[in-house]
Structure 1
Amino acid sequence: MSKVELLKRLSDKPLSRKETDLFVNRESEMNLLKEIVEYHSFGIFGLCGRTGSGKTTLLNMVSSKEEKIVPISLVYRESSDSILYNMLYSLAENFLKTKGLEKLAKQIKEWITKEVSTVRGFSLGVSLVGSANLDSGKTTTPRFNIFKAHEYLRKILIQAKKEFGKVVLLIDELDKEKKEEVIKILDSLKFELLQEDVVTIVTLPQSIYKEYIQDRLRMNGVGNLENVIKDVVLIKDLQEHHIKEMLIRRFDKDLEWLEDTSILDVLANFSDGNPRDALWITQKVVIKHIKDKKLTYDSVIETIKEVSEEFLRMLSLTELQRKALNVLKGFSGTREEFVSLLTSKGFARSTAYDIFEKFLTNGLLVQKEGYVKITGKIV
């Protein structure tokens, strides 16, 4: 395999169903999504995980012979209005060639195009001409017809159910929005989406998961999330051996190029369980040493050290924090063990707690299930 082909295999892009051989240890999440599609008759379901954990790939893997799967990528997210229009337009695009839906789909698509061009055209005119030339007493700014958009959304979903029986919407990119905005958007769409035989799976920011669980388990209290989201599938960080397995599959025959397979352990440790980070640093290493006859352990460490130093410069740590980091390199354990280690090296207890919070905030500490660890990005 040429290095060009290797770099393609190391690229961080969502995988298709034809590339399932490159997908590692996501069977549990895939099965949960499959069960949601097959057995639930309605509801909004969340797919949560860190950026780069594989949410889009998981959506790409969803398939069904019985239900109509409709993928929707929210490319335009300037506002909740544009998200609604984007979603409606995507639905219309999906049904343009569907018998019984083509007429309504065409009507919706043409209406949205006209709506957007009117609003955008007016905004462009204001920016070009200048607001001073507009008489505020006589000029009405055109706005999106939200009520009509909601009406169309409900109408096309009802019609789609008549044609297919059950419709599954896979909505991607909403996880790029702030948690508060996501809740607001989903709440505004629940009247249309929460209808029988419409199942919606939407990517969500990871920060929503904890709040959702708290809402679900809270006694004598009602949270807003549980009124909108029926359940959430959490994509957990991969273990280092899973990251290593992923890299082995990506390198394929080019594994022979590696001087030592312990290189994969270093790359996996850098990732902190995130596939995207593993692929990013691996690509960086490969590109830097692409002409080398062998990729050596020392050259990989050298590249990671350069990244580490840049990361630390950006953090602007105090001398005391740098001293603590040197003590803590390779640390993995509980909060109390973290504090205990620093106090044993002469740090005041209150200072140790402050450093813990600081490292957690700036990413030097990574939270895992039941413990924390110093990020593998520091060598």
Structure 2
Amino acid sequence: MTLGALIRNLRKARSWSQGRLAAELNTAFGTNLDREYVSRWERCKVRPGAFYLRCLSAVLDVPLAVLEDDVKRRTFLTDAAGAAIAPVVASDLLSTGFSARLHGGPSPDAWEAKLAAYGTDYMSMGAADIQRRVSGELVVIQQQLDKPQLWSAASRLMTLYAKTFPGSDGSKAVHWYRMAAEAADESQNDAARVWVRGRAAIALGYEGASLGVADVLGDQALAIGADKPSLGLLNAIYGKAHAAALRGNYDTARKLDTRGRRIFDRSGSHEQTSDYAVPYWRLNVFRSLLLARLGDEKGAVEAQDAARRELPAELPRFATHLELHRGLMLARSGDRSRGVAYAQRAMDALPPEKHSLTLRLLMSEIGP
């Protein structure tokens, strides 16, 4: 999150206008600001200097370090410091939820449109931003669950919400993945049931977290949809492949990779920039990490090159994934310090607001 966005969110949490924030600063510190100056901060046209950062820290009741530091700012609203505005956020969510129950919410078609937008946004936005937005949507849709189609939409939103928690936090991410699977069952839609379970399996397997749950959900997806190639089935197969590789079951992982490529030939996506899609470049991101974990340097490099050739330029986070896979290969080959340094350079080159939970987990796997 940018500094301007954080200032705007903190201001709105207090129901202050830009003019009110300027007035509060003027009263407290004898400054001579107006609404337009605050607007320029929030639009990142001007960055507050050290003096104004201290003033904002006092007036908005936020630690100065959060305003000064990119990393602290990204996590502020979802960590303990965010509790300062929690009552306001909770009030808004409760109001939205009751309004949806009393007056109705979006139609099934409108929810599908929202899901499509979130699928695209997830590819480029940070986890904290997506988490806050989707939590509000879940409050609304849970008041509308009187149709199977809405259970389908809810299950996919819940899966996206689960992905905003680190997979290493077995309680939160896994809880939401399991609940999403139950919600998908209520939809009576096998495509949704398979996709939700498959997406959870690849998320956990790719991150190297909760491998047992990745296997269970992957097996469930295979049992439901094995006779019908789909993106959900493809995700499930690669989730299980990563879990097998991390356990040292290399033969199983290779067999699953072969099976996954056959499934992709029948169900791969033309859509390039959605979390609900698996185009050719994304298949090769899955395979790049898998083959790096298997110690297949030649195959991993080929997959990385194939992914880079088609990776959309507007998705730099995934280019960083590929660089971290190469760092993992270096570390696995015995040169851990070089692998860590290579991966860290790739992380440093990516703007901090583009860092994801998955990238941080991959850095941990490469080494301290």
Instruction: Please report the TM-score for the alignment, with normalisation by the length of structure 2.
Output: 0.28
Q: Which has the higher contact order (CA 8 A, sep 6+)?
A: 1
Which is richer in strand? 1
Larger Rg: 1
Which is richer in helix? 2
Instruction: Please report the TM-score for the alignment, with normalisation by the length of structure 1.
Output: 0.28
